[in-house]
A and B are shown apart, each in its own frame.
Chain A
């Protein structure tokens, strides 16, 4: 295929100087290797570098007429504090002492609370997330991700405006506010 006829002049009579027949075949293995390496690189960078979007919906700030009554016994309030700590409680604020947890344990608590409620009342757990000033952006993304992993289908309520005094006190006592 990629060979040229290099025997030109070989048939002449009396030719004293004979050029040596050098093969023009080039070893393409290395070139193919390189090409495939580059292909792999471009394939991976084009499709995998696409970032992932996490959709967030927040309640409208001005439209205060729309109020949704929730059963306190079915809500789990999660407060995001500093030092990557979480305080959470079930039901009404102030009635029960919030549990202080790290991000490693929250998944278990979420799943446990969800299943307990499902067994006891056959109702879906409603989660309220309250990021406080001590939290950072990663904590917020992480908790939304944990909800997704725990399979909580109801949309979480994100509330960073109304943080109750009893919640603040509990968080201060734990040293995470």
Chain B
């Protein structure tokens, strides 16, 4: 009886196709990922069990921490339009380059008088500056935060014909009175509905 011969097969698999597919996916994910800009104001956001995700467009983010408030409105066009309006309001001229640069600046916390200098800074200097600045002035005599909110709301309404959503990104340890002060500024503009940014537990 002839012995049954078991053919030896190589266990090496051709990985080329798999490699192709995985790199294709990788490229896709890298391109779709939105680069997260580092927050100039470090805030530890509280956790919650809510499920509603923050939308990506037409929102303003107020970062509150260490008794300071930083402001950011999402969207390059909206940012630039807001800057134009603020420049008009406070009689500050911004060059077209500054305007362009402001469109990509993230959250900021500078008084409007220092804004042109702030825009001209390099990214590293801005991070350093953010540590020393006192945030956007919110006193009742010089309430620039209120102006920023109003102008960006106008800009969003003009450009996208929708209402801007105001979100608050507060530090867990922040004292309630300061948060209340900011919320009062919102309510003065009849913004009675807003969102608090939290992270999942």
Contact = CB atoms under 8 A, between A and B. Distances in A.
A21 interface: no
A141 B188 contact: no
B159 interface: no
A2 interface: yes
- Interface size class on chain B is 35 or more
A52 B22 contact: no
Q: Which of A32, A39, A54: most chain B CB closer than 10 A?
A: A54
Contacts of A29: 15
Contacts, number: 149
B19 interface: yes
A60 interface: yes
Given A31-B19, A61-B188, A42 B196 contact: no
A59 B46 contact: no
Interface stretch (B102-110, B135-143, B175-183): B175-183
A136 interface: yes
A101 to B, nearest CB: 18
Interface in A140-154: 140-142, 144-145, 148-149
The 9 tightest CB contacts between A and B, nearest first, are A28-B15, A42-B29, A53-B195, A35-B22, A138-B172, A141-B46, A145-B48, A137-B174, A137-B170
Interface of A: 1-2, 27-29, 31-32, 35-36, 38-39, 42-43, 45-46, 48-61, 80, 131-142, 144-145, 148-149, 160
